[in-house]
Structure 1
Amino acid sequence: MSTPILAPRREGLRGVITGAGSGIGRSCLELFLAHGARVDAWDRSPEALADLNDRDDVATRVVDVTDPESVAAAAAEATETWNGIDFVVNCAGGFLVGPLAEVSADAVRKLFDLNVLGTTVVTQALLPALVASKGAVVNVASSVALKATVSNSHYAASKAAVAHLTRCWALELGPQGVRVNSVAPGPTMTAIYQSAGMSAEQESTLLRERAATIPLRRVGEPVETARWIARFALEDDWTTGTVLPIDGGMSL
């Protein structure tokens, strides 16, 4: 019998998606559920998760990923609810734009708490379950983690940290059977920009300017990143330590 060219997605896998209320996290949630996964959906906004409360393949939890105690409690509940965890997708994150001369120390601290500490705390809390299942971690970095930028250097630095944590954790956890990969999306149509305090006009200008520099001359849609996250989490068993650009060629 010949080996199939494409591996089938495995149904019934159990996992956690942070930032599941909107953007790439919500696209991941919808795609994973369509492929038969059972998902613990975490977000710091209860309103963003309210439409999921009546589903039996989703458990919703209001979680601040920068709070280790909140994360530890949610991780224990998720593991008990699904009798194990097969994947973790770290989508929760923040954005910061501004030149060095203008950004505040407090804003930088909050950004790293969310993007770097949050990714660490969530993965750490769910690590025993991931080791038990020989599961997968998928982190969300950014194309600016791979290519220098002028207007949002601290955001780029925080995502570069996520990218390098991915590589380091892949080395550390590989012998235990846990795969760790990351996607590096280019500018994508999500609410992250306005959540960072940008006006709709500022967001539109930023995305238009970025699109003009991208070889494909457009910004991305959340589902275009979610498809690759799903492959890493639900299908692939042989890839680890990868930071995959999904950016229309921006990182070139």
Structure 2
Amino acid sequence: MMSGLKDKVVIVTGGSSGIGRAAALDFAELGAKVIVTARRAAALEEAASIHPNITALVADVASPEDAERTVGKAIETWGRLDVLVNNAGAGAILPLAEVTAERIASIFAVNVIGPSLLAAAALPHLIATKGAIVNISSTFGHKPGAGLSHYAASKAALEHLTRCWALELAPHGIRVNAVAAGPTESGALTGMMGLSPEQAAAIKAQEREQIPLKRRGNPEEVARWIVQLAEPASAWVTGQVLAVDGGLGLT
């Protein structure tokens, strides 16, 4: 059992479900104090109820004001910040013929601008604790997918931000890594991607065939690597993008 996270303070965006919720629980069970953010209050409160170390904050990562408010909540409550997990994501199956400026902007607001503003707001406090940032990317941040161009491009941007921030922040002792998650059983297809249950079922069947290990992942299988990268025992790892995707990125 890892113990280096005891009494550390962690922010997990998109923490009301899926990978974010699983990561928040893992951090909390290791003794960390965790703030989870999301836009839906009911789901967020339910997620926070699973462990006494988890606190909920309704916030939208696409809102510049909420970046400062989220970091401020951590400092106001516990006086420090050790780990920022940029997990909240937005996406769409969006063929080129259907793109609009608004739809592109909405994806990048959550996947690129939001993490950037949160990291900037967190920076003075992460410098003080020599903390860590873990960005959550996707297999499609480095693997092309038809109809996923702008989602994939936003995740590719997040992966390159990870590498650039790792270089920039290394002199401050801050580590920056990313987890590139493959398809997981998190409800993203019917939620974030906006598909019908029938469409989602068809895509899941296709994914299972394409993934070398022949199954989709569980949020817990991704969360453990988020926690591992944030753990002080990983102090010599920075600028890395770890694929946790059953081998999908190899196909």
With the shorter chain as reference, the TM-score category is: over 0.9
Which 5+ residue runs of structure 2 have no aligned equivalent?
none
Distance 2:57 2:2 in 1: 32
CA deviations over 1:24-64 (Å, ceiling 9, x no partner): 10010111111111101111111112232696422211111
Q: Which residues in structure 2 correspond to 1:156-195 (within 5 Å)?
A: 156-195=152-191
By how many angstroms is 1:74 displaced?
Answer: 2.2
2:70 maps to: 74
CA deviations over 1:96-139 (Å, ceiling 9, x no partner): 11321123322111011111111111111111111100000000
SS at match of 2:37: strand
Q: Which runs of 4+ in 1 moved over 3 A?
A: 6-10, 53-56
Cα pair 1:20 1:42 within 8 Å, conserved:
yes
Q: Which residues in structure 2 correspond to 1:30-179 (within 5 Å)?
A: 30-51=25-46, 52=48, 56-179=52-175
Distance 2:102 2:70 in 1: 27
1:238 maps to: 236
By how many angstroms is 1:156 displaced?
Answer: 0.6
Cα pair 2:166 2:174 within 8 Å, conserved:
yes
By how many angstroms is 1:145 displaced?
Answer: 0.9
Distance 1:28 1:55 in 2: 12
Matching residue's letter, 2:221: E
* Percent pairwise identity: 42
1:33/1:7 Cα in 2 relative to 1: closer, same or farther (>3 Å)? closer
Q: Determine if the alignment matches structure 1 residue 220 to structure 2 residue 217.
A: yes
RMSD (Å), alpha carbons: 1.6
By how many angstroms is 1:172 displaced?
Answer: 0.3
2:248 maps to: 250
By how many angstroms is 1:91 displaced?
Answer: 0.6
Matching residue's letter, 1:250: L
CA deviations over 1:212-252 (Å, ceiling 9, x no partner): 11111111111111000000112411100000110111111
2:6 maps to: 11
2:198 maps to: 201
Distance 1:27 1:73 in 2: 23
By how many angstroms is 1:144 displaced?
Answer: 0.9
Which 5+ residue runs of structure 1 have no aligned equivalent?
1-5
By how many angstroms is 1:95 displaced?
Answer: 1.6
SS at match of 2:249: coil
Matching residue's letter, 2:12: I
**Aligned pairs, how many?**
247
Matching residue's letter, 1:19: G
Distance 1:191 1:46 in 2: 17
